[in-house]
Amino acid sequence: RMVGVGSGERHPAPAMPMPNLYSGMGSLDLKRIFALTPAGVMGMSDEEVEAGRFDEPGMAGMGSMDMGEMPGMVHGGEMGEMDHGAHAMHGMHGMDHQGEAQELFTEGEDYEMDHGAHSMPEMSKMDARGTEAQATAPVTKGKRYGLDFRPFAADVSSAGNLTVDGREPERPWAPYERLRAIKPTTLPADKPVREIRLTLDGDMERYVWFLNNKPLSESDAIRIREGEVVRFIMINRTMMHHPMHLHGHFFRVINGQGDHSPLKHTVDVAPMSTTVIEFDANEVGDWFFHCHLLYHMKSGMARVVHYENFALPPQLAAIRPKLYKDSWYAWGEIEGLSNMTEGFLTASNTRNILTAEWELGWQEVEGSEWEALITWDRYFNRFFSVFAGVDFGDAIEDDRGVLGLRYLLPFNIETNSFIGTDGDGRIVAGKSFQLMPRLSLDGSVQYDTESAWEYVADLSYSLSKTFSLGAKWHSDYRWGAGLHIRF
């Protein structure tokens, strides 16, 4: 949309009040618990985003959690008046990780860590004024992840503070609210402003990343025009940081410094927050805009910023389609146990998932029984996909085509159900419990209108990223033990 502006720093049409961050965390919000999209669960639905509710810089989401007012938050008012900008989380009491850092980084352990390559050599500490101070914290060394067998030790929320060299113990956040340009950076007041709202979305489990719920392979260019002031309103609806980088331009980060907003070409958009940038559209061409975590970029979090009336040279136009290629990946798992074997093979791009899975059991049954299910899934979001395929084997009466859906219930309970061409149906629910860093327990229950109930419990101990030892109880084939192989 085009927005007229007056003198001084540009602001969106009147800034809307932001939700009270973390208000009412203790109450159950059924609307969010049973939302059909991850954004809905976070309290940042598409409808609310389109209404402009989260356009103002600052922490924006999780509107039903109450931890009190946070430093730097603005509830109403214009962007230029905000106190601490988009990343003011330094003062979040109660959210730092408790425990002593020495539990994770202790003297005499396996490898050192420095700040550039994940190790931390002995160094002089700097106090808040930048003057050198004598180090009082111990020299710290890393502890191998695989040697920490405490229950839930792999969970970051249960880990100790990582900082023991005199810095603040909380996880560091970018100090954007303190950045101030030496000279005014305001853009010409007589230029039209084009506002472009971009949500940062994705799925941390499948590791696909989107802008406005689409990967680069499904997207069109972001179209702008020379002579405009372009404002990007970036709303992060994920629980990961995304340092967004624009080629070809420096942009102003709207951080509460008014006319002296700093100029940058990369800015971190923190989880569940909004960051606003603006730039003078004065470099005609096609420019890449993407997350600078390159594996996020590769997985789809990118766009081309295209100036109207700009034509690519023929040699570049010929290879442009390669930019939008949606790569396929394959993986699988095989379980070889004393009572049965089962596994799957999967090939997938962003939206399409082809899977072949099988189950063969011989214990407690006459001879053996086997079943195979081959499906094609269409992925919509982290919670929901639909699939079609074929189900066959001597464990069922007749081979059948199937049509079904997968849905993620609250508490990460995974479900899938289908209807077969024979009129029978099946529903499965399962959950995984990570008991220790290497020890997990998987459980599932299945009901098939043809073969009735089936129950499974699987205990797995990881030896490496490829091999695990497993013990399984199956309601048809009883107890067994063996090896899991992942590839």
For the residues of 254-308, what is the DSSP string, one character each?
-SS-GGGPPEESEEEE-TTEEEEEEEE--S-SEEEEEESSHHHHHTT-EEEEEET
Task: Name the least confident of 16-20, 237-241, 315-319, 346-350.
Answer: 16-20
257: helix, coil or strand? coil
Mean pLDDT in residue range 87-113: 32
Task: Name the least confident of 144-153, 283-292, 372-381, 418-427.
Answer: 144-153
For strands 266-269 and 467-474, give the pairing: unpaired
Residue 137 has pLDDT above 50, yes or no: no
Residue 268 has pLDDT above 60, yes or no: yes
**Pairwise CA distance, residues 242 & 180, whole Å:** 22
Q: Give the per-residue pLDDT at 141.
A: 38
Q: Give the per-residue pLDDT at 90.
A: 32
For strands 425-434 and 439-448, give the pairing: antiparallel
Locate 359 and state its tokens: 């189950």
Please name the helix (run of DSSP H) or strand (run of DSSP E) that holds residue 445, with its range, or none.
strand 439-448
Mean pLDDT in residue range 12-35: 48
**Pairwise CA distance, residues 319 & 24, whole Å:** 52
Residue 112 has pLDDT above 50, yes or no: no
Contact 388/378 with Cβ under 8 angstroms? no
Query: Sorting pLDDT into bands at 50, 70 and 90, what band is 175?
Result: confident
Contact 303/296 with Cβ under 8 angstroms? no
Mean pLDDT in residue range 168-176: 69
Query: Sorting pLDDT into bands at 50, 70 and 90, what band is 43?
Result: confident
Locate 222 and state its tokens: 């972001």
Contact 455/464 with Cβ under 8 angstroms? no
Per the document, the length of the chain is 487
Residue 241 has pLDDT above 80, yes or no: yes
Strand-pairing partners, residue 193, are 3, 229
Q: Give the per-residue pLDDT at 168.
A: 60
Q: Give the per-residue pLDDT at 148.
A: 58
Task: Name the least confident of 139-143, 235-239, 331-335.
Answer: 139-143
**Pairwise CA distance, residues 252 & 41, whole Å:** 31
Percent of the chain as helix, strand, coil, to the nearest 5: 10, 40, 50
- Those residues with Cβ within 8 angstroms of residue 429's Cβ, 6 or more apart along the chain or in another chain: 409, 413, 414, 415, 444, 445, 446
DSSP per-residue letters across 347-366: EE-SSEEEEEEEEEE-TTSS
Please name the helix (run of DSSP H) or strand (run of DSSP E) that holds residue 200, with its range, or none.
strand 193-203
Q: Give the per-residue pLDDT at 162.
A: 54
Contact 58/70 with Cβ under 8 angstroms? no
Locate 343 and state its tokens: 């596994």
**Pairwise CA distance, residues 421 & 36, whole Å:** 27
Q: Give the per-residue pLDDT at 201.
A: 96
Q: What are phi and psi of 327, to 5 degrees?
A: -70, 150
Please name the helix (run of DSSP H) or strand (run of DSSP E) that holds residue 31, with its range, or none.
helix 30-33
Task: Decide which of 352 and 1 is more confident.
Answer: 352
Instruction: Give percent above pLDDT 70 in the chain.
Output: 71
Residue 21 has pLDDT above 60, yes or no: no
Mean pLDDT in residue range 156-163: 53
**Pairwise CA distance, residues 148 & 196, whole Å:** 46
Contact 454/446 with Cβ under 8 angstroms? yes
Q: Give the per-residue pLDDT at 59.
A: 65
Residue 23 has pLDDT above 70, yes or no: no
Residue 22 has pLDDT above 90, yes or no: no
Q: Give the per-residue pLDDT at 269.
A: 95
Query: Sorting pLDDT into bands at 50, 70 and 90, what band is 237?
Result: very high
Q: Provide the sign of the torsion angle of the four alpha carbons 364, 369, 374, 375, taken in this order.
A: negative
**Pairwise CA distance, residues 414 & 431, whole Å:** 6
Task: Name the least confident of 43-52, 139-148, 311-320, 321-330.
Answer: 139-148
Task: Decide which of 109 and 230 is more confident.
Answer: 230
Residue 7 has pLDDT above 80, yes or no: no
Average pLDDT of the chain, as a whole number = 78
- What would the pLDDT profile of 76-86 be if each residue is shown by its tens digit? 333 333 333 33
**Pairwise CA distance, residues 250 & 230, whole Å:** 12
- What would the pLDDT profile of 375-426 be if each residue is shown by its tens digit? 999 999 999 999 999 999 999 989 999 999 999 998 899 999 999 999 999 9
Query: Sorting pLDDT into bands at 50, 70 and 90, what band is 32?
Result: confident
What amino acid is encoded at 259 in this protein? D
